[in-house]
Structure 1
Amino acid sequence: AVGFARMDDGTEEGKIPTLIIEGTVKDTDGNLIEGAKVEMWHANSLGNYSFFDKSQSDFNLRRTIITDADGHYTALTTMPVGYGCPPEGTTQFVLNKLGRHGNRPSHVHYFVSAPGYRKLTTQFNIEGDQYLWDDFAYATR
């Protein structure tokens, strides 16, 4: 999609808040980048990602948006929630031994790429999440 995409498949519509994500892709000199590929994905209201969670439709909450002539993109989606490591998994076992929790704040992942530029991998966290400054993956900066 160029400029805009809806990320969710509608199954949680009306059950959780809507989130509008907008941005503009620029180079380090502030020049707009038309045609940049912005790939975004996030967990659903249960903290699960499509592909891994077979109850979700393919590519639910995963979209690629190509920036428009002004380097702009907009996504309409649902508010993601944070999640924890599987409680019986090996990661949580190790974290328990270290006296640490395995929770992540709610967040949206990003890849941004364009010909002639380095690929950017990043994410943003949702303000107000109780784990915003206590992410077990140390992804909050």
Structure 2
Amino acid sequence: MSSDIAKTLRETLLDLGVRPEQIGYFDRHSSIALNFKMISPIMLTADHHGVWMWSELKNLNSATLNIHAEKLLLLLQHALPSVVTGQPVLGKGLRGYEVKALLDDACMGSAKTLQVALDGFFNLMTSLHSIVE
């Protein structure tokens, strides 16, 4: 993970109340998982395109996708703050469906901007999970 985003992520996590001893070292090849009780972990992964936040929808498959397509589409078309395209992407990952969003460069240097982006993504994932559970 780039040093800028690693520093900003550390600051964001501290601002969110995570204890310093719970935060490890982030290097250039890191992903970090933010674990929650009600939804799949939100992952932050750096690659040559930038930093992605993404999460799996483990209960989503072709049958549930057909049943809930309208509700899912309505949620996914709303803009997310500090996301490059403005909207997340629903797609098929290695282990099933996942939602991804490429973070805007503004998140790299601002803990507040990163926190707003994470809050928006968390709220989206909570809503998506409530549909497919």
TM range (shorter): under 0.3
Structure with greater proportional helix content: 2
TM-score, scaled relative to structure 2: 0.27
Structure with greater proportional strand content: 1
TM-score, scaled relative to structure 1: 0.26
Higher gyration radius (CA): 1
